[in-house]
A = this chain, B = another copy of it.
């Protein structure tokens, strides 16, 4: 029996999910909350297995609530819930410990599948949401200035811990040249030092 709890500030959504799930065997309706604080209140004296959570809520939003819940109760699996699919929010939810993401207009079957998958420790994405996330991850860097071949090469070596003189030796260049490229990298990517350069490079998967 999977105990499901809902947090959403839209009564219609709660009603709808309730009617979808109430006659479902294997699913127990643990209750609902209409904002973050009353949700946290519920979990003080109660618990649930799966928490369906709206992303857009007044006061504390789903992303933050997700993080709080996961810290206090790591055993509760959280399924993000939203009307639109915006990659950024999906990604943040996942980073904060959510186990999946579905759209509010999902079919009953999809909803059940998602709940069950998540309850088993799995990760579930509704097809469209998955696409959105993928798309976001790809398109999260059209504003990145293009790096030349040499620059990428040197960036990679910097990330591997080589110093300018070492890189110069490796590539048969003057260390002045390597330094120039390095400065160009800092300038192009608009970062102040090696630390932020590497961070950006790894996060944006340039290396």
- Chain A interface residues toward B at CB < 8 A: 83-86, 117, 120-123, 128, 158-161, 163, 191-199, 202-203, 207
Cα A197 to Cα B159 in complex, Å, equals 9
How often does this chain occur in the complex, in copies? 2
Give the most central of A121, A123, A163, A195: most B CB within 10 Å. Answer: A195
- CB contact under 8 A between A198 and B202, given known A85-B123, A86-B121, A123-B128: yes
Closest B residue to A56 using CB positions: B120
Q: List 26 A-B residue pairs with CB atoms under 8 Å apart, sorted by A's residue number.
A: A83-B117, A83-B120, A83-B122, A84-B117, A84-B121, A84-B122, A85-B122, A85-B123, A86-B121, A123-B128, A158-B195, A159-B196, A160-B196, A161-B191, A161-B192, A161-B195, A161-B196, A163-B193, A194-B194, A194-B195, A195-B195, A195-B197, A195-B198, A198-B202, A199-B207, A202-B203
- A-B residue pairs, 10 tightest by C-beta: A84-B122, A161-B196, A202-B202, A198-B198, A161-B192, A195-B198, A159-B199, A194-B195, A194-B194, A158-B195
